[in-house]
Amino acid sequence: MNIKKSSIKELENLCAKIREEILRVVSKNGGHLSSTLGATEIIVAMHEVFDSKKDPFIFDVSHQSYAHKLLTGRWDAFDTLRQFNGISGYTKPNESEHDYFVAGHSSTSISLGVGAAKAIALKGEQDSRVPVVMIGDGSMTAGMVYEALNELGDRKYPMVIILNDNEMSIAKPIGAISRMLSSAMASPFYQSFKRHTENFVDNFGESAHYIAKRMEESLKLITPGILFEEMGINYIGPVDGHNLSSLIEILQKAKELKKPVIVHVQTLKGKGYQIAEGKEEKWHGVGPFDLDSGNSAKKSSSKSATQIYSEALLHLAKHDKKIVGATAAMPSGTGLSELMELFPDRFWDVAIAEQHAVTSMSALAKEGFKPFCTIYSTFLQRGYDQIIHDTCLMDLPVVFALDRAGIVGEDGETHQGVFDISFLRAVPNMTLFAPRDEKSFHQAMAFAAQYEHPCSLRYPRGSFMESNLPESLPFAFAKSQLLRSNASDILFIGYGNGVGRAYQSAEFLEMEVSILDLRFVKPLDEKMLLELSKKHKKWFVFSDSAKMGGVGSAILEFLAKEKILHVSVESFEYEDSFITHGNTKLVEESLGLLPHQLAKRVEILVESSK
């Protein structure tokens, strides 16, 4: 179908078909739903007005880009969405020439747009290319957006920014008036009139300038675009995001302005699927579900690590009023929703602002409180400077609880929680530890609550890899726990979820192995490791983390420091590459990390060393 030669009615029918396909595939595969349904008309209008082969189409986070994928040659492959070896749930340039940039974290789009606009200007292509950015209102809560807008408003590069506002309802009378005003504000006549008025006022001296300025300021006080206009960026809107003809008209006029323009578009989350319409977090990202009822597919009966964390923190918070906490726009995903309801004055969602979360919690720690900063491992990367500068430099007792550490499955490269050990281990005053199961998690939380320095504990998405693990002992600073000991030459060292992986791998071996729950990777239990080096010469490390700078690196550094040369170390951590998306078990199988595969690798390595 040639979008640019289609009638509005044909395009509206196309939107309906796109929604049907998104619902069919997401109900089967899982994925992002409410926001991508709401953005369908916007994306169809973008493709009608612009050319995604030459105009950079930049989607913030890009979880709302499913319609874009369907319109750019991936309809037949859409069944593989988020599946192993299938298409990604985010934009990905090596998947399609129509995808300008990899995106998975929020609030990067306008910065990318500014960079693209600079390149276009340097190449002299401003008459034929323009960056088109689509960003949601949630992403506008992050500071990086305003850093980019600040420069854009100063340099005036041509760019069209579509602000997809899906939190406001669209009232028909207001929508009709706003469409009329938006169209007028974007028209060549209005822009020409504005320029001529400015020239006219320039010729009538200071008093005319004063009157015009006061009138302008008064008008801006009642317009929603005051912030953007003050930053030097043209504002158009609000526009009804489900009125295709209006959207196309406004985007065409915004394109013709050859200026930085924000088009404020109001959409309804879940549009076209009544069960999800208007809902907030529940339908943002979903697992497989029944289309007719909206009921989720049967979930695992095992308790998730997030649920254990929530229960442990709730228990601590009920007994200690000094315990506070924050999350960055993920209260349900991190298990803080119940605490925010029970203790609204002590637990906060600070929006998509990880840097702010870290620094504000540091100030609370300075004032004598005990903050639990609860953030996905992948998102803590965004607050790294603040961890160093505002928490660790001051040696403040902030607890960083890192959810979704390790492979996270279908979200893929942008979300894998693999780097936290590597980047936190280098920071002075930081202590790193990890639980292996439910009981040790409660013990780790009890330790964290009374610890008087910065610390971080990590735990996986979903359930722990438990395998009849021995009784957990209470956590003590820098103390490991030997779970199995024998005269074998082989030592399995597990960290966090890696302990269960080590145990399950050992079950596939005929040879005997000793197993250590390392518990702390910084600082290490050096006394225990020295003792074990006298008994075991072949050490194997199990941890859901990057190999470079990870647990194996820490152990090798210790052995080098102690000049222990007779011990060999093999780490089964992740290699130096980004890990693809897909079902976690399939991804681990592709990496050779399933227990039976690890056991085979151990056998081969032991045999080759004889």
DSSP 515-582: EEE--EEES--HHHHHHHHTT-SEEEEE-SSBSTTSHHHHHHHHHHHTT--S-EEEE-SB-SSPPPPS
Active site residue 269: yes
Q: Single out the catalytic residue among 41, 354, 438, 573.
A: 354
Q: What pLDDT score was predicted for residue 200?
A: 53
Its pTM stands at 0.89
Closest CA to 397 of 426, 432, 361, 422: 361
User: Looking at 38-42, 224-228, 531-535, which range is the least confident one?
Assistant: 224-228
Q: How far apart are CA 491 and CA 511, in angstroms?
A: 11
Q: Single out the catalytic residue among 129, 269, 404, 547.
A: 269
Which letter, b or e, does each residue of 12-25 get, where b requires 16 or more Cβ atoms within 10 Å of its Cβ? bebbeebbebbbeb
Query: Mean per-residue pLDDT for 98-119?
Result: 96
Within a 10 A sphere around the Cβ of 216, how many other Cβ atoms? 10
Q: How far apart are CA 179 and CA 197, in angstroms?
A: 24
DSSP letter assigned to residue 198: H
Residue in the structure block whose two tokens are 């069944």: 79
Q: Is the peptide bond before 260 cis (omega within 30 degrees of 0)?
A: no
Tokens of 198: 């400015």
Chain centre to alpha carbon of residue 427: 23
Q: Single out the catalytic residue among 179, 382, 484, 547.
A: 382
Active site residue 9: no
pLDDT digits (tens, 9 = 90+) for 423-468: 999 999 999 999 999 999 999 999 999 999 999 999 999 999 976 8
Half-sphere exposure of 391 (CA within 13 A, CB side): 34
Structural domains of the chain, with CATH: 11-185+230-280 (3.40.50.970), 305-458 (3.40.50.970), 481-608 (3.40.50.920)
Structure confidence at residue 285 as a pLDDT band (50, 70, 90): confident
Give alpha helix (H) positions in 398-471: 420-424, 438-450
Note the residue count of the chain. Answer: 610
Q: What pLDDT score was predicted for residue 220?
A: 46
pLDDT digits (tens, 9 = 90+) for 314-368: 999 999 999 999 999 999 999 999 999 999 999 999 999 999 999 999 999 999 9
pLDDT digits (tens, 9 = 90+) for 133-187: 999 988 888 899 999 999 999 999 999 999 998 864 333 434 454 454 455 555 5
Tell me the helix, strand and coil percentages in the chain, rounded to 5: 45, 15, 40
Active site residue 382: yes
Q: Which residues contact 156 (CB under 8 A, 6 or more apart)?
A: 232, 259, 260
Q: How far apart are CA 29 and CA 297, in angstroms?
A: 11
